[in-house]
């Protein structure tokens, strides 16, 4: 790549087509990170702040079995949030989405943690034949973010469950310091139900009857009108992922799964093979760039990580075969998927223009539901 360039502060490069470089060698992702973190990260608050927040949550759930919801995947962020809610004296209901791709390690982490913390667990199991048809459709669509259906379903189930039980707080494990860098050209957002329906209509063969989704109206009705708050609690503390891992392993026998979101076999395949092989996108580049900008690792450490394979080569081979078998893809089918021309989300029906036209309202709405 003759015009290749890499940021001098983080490690984002021209594999992200929307990147802009400034005169000092830094990039637009760095600036966007700084802008977002300055607004969303509040890690200098006194301990009493979260205690007061917990009192608000308890008050909102007075007379109910649960006062908040947490999503749990078996990964480090959601596991630490589970611990945190209990340490604050809250009564969480843990929600897990089983989309058919849980690793044994993720399942063990979830069951072990919920048992030790005495947290009730509610698991939603997607209809496998229907969901397999949706996943096959997304692979055939040739867009990069084939994880949109899973991410959307998690979001939809949490919001719908909160509305059903009259729960006013969803405590999230998202964290701006670790997740504020991600090119839209790599991963189109997962909250757009229209693109799921559009892609499935074009490539699917089964009716989509049970898949959980939220329309734009649902977002405003359930979150804004019903005043359900989505709180990224890790933004309100000095959260360090590596320290959290060590704590969970020591205190709760939590086991590491070797990579961000690798608790899911399909997600591990998606990160370590599909995006890298078909699109040339290494999501680790975005993740470690955020960690550089937040001071959690050095730029040299990040470069060393990127020089290593995204996963064990033998594991990648095993995951490929497992994905082909589980999705009923022949070798020819799989090769055709990889060989197809890469497309963007704009090749299919979506609500990106509508979201954009509502941007100032969405920003206000987002601030309203995510701030303590």
Contact indicator for 62, 257 with CB cutoff of 8 Å: no
β-pair type (92-98, 229-232): unpaired
Residue 35 lies in a domain: no
Q: Token pair for residue 253? A: 């026998």
Residue 18 lies in a domain: no
Residue 10 lies in a domain: no
Angstrom distance (rounded) from CA 222 to CA 295 = 37
Q: Token pair for residue 333? A: 């089918």
Nearest CA to 195 out of 269, 125, 283, 134 is that of: 134
pLDDT in tens, the chain (372 residues): 568 999 999 999 999 999 999 999 999 999 999 999 998 988 888 888 999 999 999 999 999 999 999 999 999 999 999 999 999 999 999 999 999 999 888 899 999 999 999 999 999 999 999 999 999 999 999 999 999 999 999 999 999 999 999 999 999 999 988 889 999 999 998 989 999 999 999 999 999 999 999 988 888 888 777 889 999 999 999 898 889 999 999 999 999 877 666 778 999 999 999 999 999 999 999 999 999 999 999 999 999 999 999 989 999 999 999 999 999 999 999 999 999 999 999 999 999 888 777 666 666 666 666 777
State the CB neighbour count (10 A cutoff) for residue 124.
17
Residue 23 lies in a domain: no
The pLDDT of residue 257 is 78
CATH number, domain containing residue 136: 3.40.50.620
The pLDDT of residue 362 is 62
Mutual orientation of helices 241-252 and 76-87 as an angle, nearest 10°? 70
Give kind and range of the element (H or E) at residue 196: helix 193-203
CA atoms in the 13 A half-sphere facing the CB of 288? 23
Residue 351 lies in a domain: yes
Nearest CA to 149 out of 140, 161, 137, 160 is that of: 137
Q: Is the pTM of this model over 0.85?
A: yes
The phi-psi region of residue 234 (left if phi > 0; otherwise alpha if psi is between -120 and 50; otherwise beta) is: alpha
Residue 16 lies in a domain: no
Contact indicator for 314, 322 with CB cutoff of 8 Å: no
> Residue 121 contacts by C-beta under 8 Å, 6 or more apart in sequence?
72, 94, 96, 110, 111, 114
135 phi and psi angles, rounded to 5 deg: -65, -40
Residue 4 lies in a domain: no
**What string of DSSP letters covers 128-178?**
HHHHHHHHHHHHHHT-S-TTHHHHHHHHHHHHHHHHHHT--EEEE---HHH
The pLDDT of residue 359 is 66
Helix, strand, coil: what percent of the chain each, to 5?
55, 10, 35
Tally the domains of the chain.
Answer: 1
Angstrom distance (rounded) from CA 110 to CA 115 = 8
Its domain, for residue 233, covers 43-370
90 phi and psi angles, rounded to 5 deg: -85, 165
For the chain, list the strands marked E by DSSP.
68-71, 92-98, 120-125, 169-172, 229-232
Helix (H, G, I), strand (E, B) or coil at 357: helix
Q: Token pair for residue 4? A: 């290749």
Residue 32 lies in a domain: no
The pLDDT of residue 2 is 63
Angstrom distance (rounded) from CA 90 to CA 118 = 11
β-pair type (92-98, 120-125): parallel
């Amino acid at each position: 790549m003759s015009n290749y360039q890499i940021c001098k502060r983080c490690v984002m490069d021209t594999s992200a087509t929307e990147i802009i470089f400034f005169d000092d060698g830094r990039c637009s992702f760095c600036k966007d990170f700084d802008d977002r973190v300055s607004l969303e990260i509040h890690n200098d608050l006194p301990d009493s702040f979260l205690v007061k927040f917990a009192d608000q949550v308890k008050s909102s759930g007075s007379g109910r079995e649960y006062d908040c919801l947490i999503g749990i995947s078996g990964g480090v962020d959601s596991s630490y949030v589970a611990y945190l809610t209990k340490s604050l004296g809250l009564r969480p209901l843990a929600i897990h989405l089983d989309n058919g791709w849980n690793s044994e390690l993720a399942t063990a982490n979830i069951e072990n943690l919920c048992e030790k913390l005495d947290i009730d667990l509610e698991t939603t199991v997607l209809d496998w034949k229907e969901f397999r048809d949706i996943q096959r459709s997304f692979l055939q669509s040739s867009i990069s973010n084939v994880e949109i259906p899973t991410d959307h379903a998690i979001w939809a189930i949490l919001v719908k469950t909160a509305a059903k039980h009259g729960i006013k707080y969803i405590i999230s494990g998202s964290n701006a310091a670790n997740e504020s860098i991600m090119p839209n050209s790599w991963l189109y957002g997962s909250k757009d139900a229209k693109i799921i329906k559009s892609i499935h209509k074009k490539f699917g063969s089964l009716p989509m009857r049970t898949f959980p989704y939220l329309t734009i109206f649902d977002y405003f009705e359930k979150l804004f009108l019903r005043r359900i708050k989505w709180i990224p609690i890790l933004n309100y503390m000095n959260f360090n992922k590596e320290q959290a891992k060590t704590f969970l392993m020591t205190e709760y026998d939590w086991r590491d799964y070797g990579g961000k979101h690798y608790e899911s076999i399909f997600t591990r395949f998606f990160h370590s093979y599909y995006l890298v092989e078909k699109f040339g996108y290494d999501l680790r580049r975005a993740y470690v760039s955020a960690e550089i900008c937040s001071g959690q690792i050095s730029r040299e450490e990040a470069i060393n990580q990127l020089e290593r394979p995204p996963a064990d080569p033998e594991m990648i081979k095993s995951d490929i075969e497992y994905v082909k078998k589980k999705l009923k893809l022949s070798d020819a089918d799989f090769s055709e998927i990889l060989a197809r021309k890469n497309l963007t989300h704009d090749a299919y029906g979506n609500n990106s223009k509508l979201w954009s036209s509502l941007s100032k309202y969405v920003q206000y709405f987002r601030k309203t539901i995510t701030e303590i």
